[in-house]
Amino acid sequence: MVEYHPFADGVEVNGSILRGVVGSLGDVSPVFERKGHHILSECGVDDPRPDEWYPQTAWLSFFERIEQTAGLNTLRELGEATATTVSWPPEITTVTEALAGLDRQYQHNHRNGDIGEYRVVTQTADSSEVVAENPYPCVYDRGLILGIAEEFGGKNATLTETSDHCRSEGGRRCHYELEW
């Protein structure tokens, strides 16, 4: 299973993402946010700072622990929250533009080795095929892609996983068809 296992040793994640995603748990409840900070601390990261970098192994352990303690729906919700946590450039105003810029955001917030990627394979005015090739859980990526659609105006978006062998089944990538 590729989920939860970095593609390379030494990969790091920017603290602004950790801080924003864990902070988004507060939208559920302050207790849930405190629990998220506690889990992140157990994974080796105390009080992440936006100007610091942290091991991706710790961040992936956080996601795995969230799945074990709070379930898949919470991982999906974290993906949705990530779409609003990211600092999108002001010129990005549509779903199409945001999906086209997703990999730039991902690359900007990760460093040191093979981190994977997000790739838009086909795109129309109201649909996109997105490939997610990274070590994050599939359900998180589904939430992220749907969250982007929601954030940029695709209020009734639907997402279909179209891979023959996605990451949750041991593959290296997942293919998604997003319609809005």
**pLDDT tens for the chain, residues 1 to 180:** 478 999 999 999 999 999 999 998 888 789 989 999 999 999 999 999 999 999 999 999 999 999 999 999 999 999 999 998 888 999 999 999 999 999 999 999 999 999 999 999 999 999 999 999 999 999 999 999 999 999 999 889 999 999 888 898 888 899 999 999
Cα separation, 38 vs 19, in Å, equals 13
Residue-level pLDDT at 91? 96
pTM (predicted TM-score): 0.93
Domains of the chain: 1-180 (3.90.1520.10)
- Exposure string of 99-121, with b = 16+ CB inside 10 Å and e = fewer, is bebbbebbeebbeeeebbebebe
Residue-level pLDDT at 26? 87
